[in-house]
Chains A and B, each alone.
Chain A
Amino acid sequence: MSLFDKFQPIAEVREELDRLGVTPFGAVTERLLSATEGIVSGHRVILAGTNNYLGLTFDPECVEAARTAAATEGTGTTGSRLANGTYAAHAALERELAEFFGCRSAIVFSTGYLATMGMSSTLAAPGDVILLDADSHASIYDGCRLSGAELVRFRHNDAADLEKRLRRLRGRGANVLIIVEGIYSMLGDRAPLAAIAALKREYGAYLLVDEAHSMGMLGERGRGMVEETGIESDVDFIVGTFSKSLGSTGGFCVSQRPELELVRFATRAYIFTASPSPSVIASTRVALRIVRDRPELRQQLWDNAQRLYDGLKAQGFRVGPDASPVVAATVDDRAQAIGFWNQLMHRGVYVNLVMPPATPTNSCLLRCSVSAAHTTEQIDTILGAYAALKLSDDDL
């Protein structure tokens, strides 16, 4: 037995992909032409798998703010927030996030992964119980495992199953933390947050919602699915990321609870890592202001999402249950999914190929993420590429 035997299944998938000459997991973006076009692994493509929901990565104001910050504050902070890594801009962004969400306080993390992993690993502890949606992101699972709390899954988006588990815990006297996402990253489906919030109230649990794929996209102010559902007063913690709608990197947690300021000093994922670079913080602050001031971006995003979702559905693809900026087509056969991904690249469309265990089932996904920056013509080009998919690569 070698230390590396456990990686053999990965080696087998890599060999299969090498044989086919495709690079879905090693695609290199050689040049970016705009927020929605680039040269990827030698192909000029429309970028339809980037999570750049509002298309802000090339927003002139964001770019200029990042440039200025790098010139005046340097390329990195070289330290933790609790040591030398808190600059005035980090504190300002936390104030602005709290204000944006109408919350008491906010914590900024260096990545979205660290935000969800850090919060779920710190809030609960041995003796507590975490009830998490089965399709939760890996960062949530990782954090929950680190917490040492008792970890129980409930069926994806199934409030009745959640209630069964809450009922079984009655009388135990344990603190219960429910963790769900607003929009789920793989199929773009929405959590039944109103029903979950009602259960949270009835059973006296705590509720954390990850808005990674919904902040900036839903709600009158762009706060996300919690705002859209009208349950803001029921949610104890909202976590999210800067690396999607805000076009940079980093993550956050906001809360009405004054205890969040204590959690800050107990969260290892916050304490033992370098704080975000000044340029990242600067562009994120501008992007947050744009989300607040330009609701028309959300409208454009949803118009594009609806067009792509309706188009793929009409072509017979098995898409998720809700139209959403994440539009994923399920393909049962792995070789077929790889072939389709390769054909889309050759036809000038980059999407994400997602394979088990990253998918919710044993099937593969061809996952698109739509951007407000996509033009109608680009959406139609994407649809045209899907319509032209052949069962075999022979006629490429």
Chain B
Amino acid sequence: MPDYNVLLNQISEILAPFVKKGMTLTEDSELVAELGLTSLQVMELVEHIEDELDISFPLNILPDIRTVRDLALRLEKITNP
């Protein structure tokens, strides 16, 4: 099962198209506030990650995820139950 750093790299690749010019994606980057993802894009991102990792991502935990780090930590928990 992928560890935190592997997941972080995967997330960075998936998010690359959303990173604006002059911006650097870090673990502290905020998905909505900084990257400007709409609610629809967040759901598309979730579907993409679900397919990549062959997991189901419960909607209940979305409100707790603000940053790239939050997302990687949650995915680590889901993929390493």
Co-assembled chains A and B: yes
Please give the residue numbers on chain A whose beta carbons come within 8 Å of chain B beta carbons, in ascending order.
Answer: 134, 145, 150-153, 155, 164-165, 168-169, 356-357, 361-362
Q: Does B39 lie at the interface of the complex (its beta carbon under 8 Å from any beta carbon of A)?
A: yes
CB 8 Å contact bits of B31-65 with A (1 = contact, 0 = none): 00000001110010001000000111111100000
Flag if A151 contacts B58 (CB, 8 Å): yes
> Nearest chain B CB to A247's CB is how many angstroms away?
34
Flag if B56 contacts A169 (CB, 8 Å): yes
In the bound complex, residues from chain A placing their C-beta under 8 Å from that of B39 are 357
In the bound complex, residues from chain B placing their C-beta under 8 Å from that of A362 are 38, 40
The answer to whether A152 and B59 touch (CB under 8 A), given A357-B40, A362-B40, is yes
Q: Is the interface of A mostly helix, strand, loop or mixed?
A: mixed
Residue of A nearest to B59 (CB): A151
Measured in the bound complex, the distance between the Cα atoms of B75 and A208 in whole Å is: 29
A-B contact count (CB 8 A): 28
Partner of B55, one of A134, A151, A155, A168: A168
> Nearest chain B CB to A156's CB is how many angstroms away?
11
CB 8 Å contact bits of B20-40 with A (1 = contact, 0 = none): 000000000000000000111
Flag if B58 contacts A168 (CB, 8 Å): no
Residue of A nearest to B47 (CB): A155
In the bound complex, residues from chain A placing their C-beta under 8 Å from that of B55 are 168
In the bound complex, residues from chain A placing their C-beta under 8 Å from that of B57 are 152
> Nearest chain A CB to B36's CB is how many angstroms away?
13
Residue of A nearest to B40 (CB): A362
Flag if B43 contacts A153 (CB, 8 Å): yes
In the bound complex, residues from chain B placing their C-beta under 8 Å from that of A150 are 58, 60
Measured in the bound complex, the distance between the Cα atoms of B47 and A150 in whole Å is: 16
Residue of A nearest to B60 (CB): A151
> Nearest chain B CB to A276's CB is how many angstroms away?
32
Measured in the bound complex, the distance between the Cα atoms of B50 and A164 in whole Å is: 10
Flag if B43 contacts A165 (CB, 8 Å): no
> Nearest chain A CB to B72's CB is how many angstroms away?
20
In the bound complex, residues from chain B placing their C-beta under 8 Å from that of A134 are 43
Chosen A-B contacts, 5 in total, with CB atoms closer than 8 Å, are A145-B59, A151-B60, A164-B56, A356-B40, A357-B39
The answer to whether A361 and B40 touch (CB under 8 A), given A151-B59, A152-B59, A153-B59, is yes
Measured in the bound complex, the distance between the Cα atoms of B25 and A79 in whole Å is: 56
Measured in the bound complex, the distance between the Cα atoms of B59 and A150 in whole Å is: 8
In the bound complex, residues from chain B placing their C-beta under 8 Å from that of A165 are 56
Measured in the bound complex, the distance between the Cα atoms of B24 and A111 in whole Å is: 49
Across chains A and B, which 7 residue pairs bring their CB atoms closest together, nearest first?
A151-B59, A152-B56, A150-B58, A165-B56, A168-B56, A151-B60, A152-B58
Measured in the bound complex, the distance between the Cα atoms of B22 and A211 in whole Å is: 50
Measured in the bound complex, the distance between the Cα atoms of B55 and A150 in whole Å is: 14
Measured in the bound complex, the distance between the Cα atoms of B58 and A168 in whole Å is: 12
Contacts beyond the supplied A145-B59, A357-B40: 20 A-B pairs with Cβ under 8 Å: A134-B43, A145-B60, A150-B60, A151-B58, A151-B59, A152-B57, A152-B59, A153-B43, A153-B59, A155-B47, A164-B54, A164-B56, A168-B55, A168-B56, A169-B56, A356-B40, A357-B39, A361-B40, A362-B38, A362-B40
In the bound complex, residues from chain B placing their C-beta under 8 Å from that of A164 are 54, 56
Measured in the bound complex, the distance between the Cα atoms of B43 and A357 in whole Å is: 12
Residue of B nearest to A151 (CB): B59
> Nearest chain B CB to A145's CB is how many angstroms away?
8
> Nearest chain A CB to B8's CB is how many angstroms away?
23
Residue of B nearest to A360 (CB): B40
> Nearest chain A CB to B21's CB is how many angstroms away?
22
> Nearest chain A CB to B81's CB is how many angstroms away?
10
Measured in the bound complex, the distance between the Cα atoms of B47 and A165 in whole Å is: 12
> Nearest chain B CB to A43's CB is how many angstroms away?
33
In the bound complex, residues from chain B placing their C-beta under 8 Å from that of A155 are 47
Measured in the bound complex, the distance between the Cα atoms of B59 and A50 in whole Å is: 32
Measured in the bound complex, the distance between the Cα atoms of B75 and A235 in whole Å is: 34
In the bound complex, residues from chain A placing their C-beta under 8 Å from that of B56 are 152, 164-165, 168-169
Measured in the bound complex, the distance between the Cα atoms of B54 and A150 in whole Å is: 17
Measured in the bound complex, the distance between the Cα atoms of B59 and A342 in whole Å is: 37
In the bound complex, residues from chain B placing their C-beta under 8 Å from that of A153 are 43, 59
Measured in the bound complex, the distance between the Cα atoms of B62 and A43 in whole Å is: 44
In the bound complex, residues from chain B placing their C-beta under 8 Å from that of A361 are 40
> Nearest chain A CB to B1's CB is how many angstroms away?
14
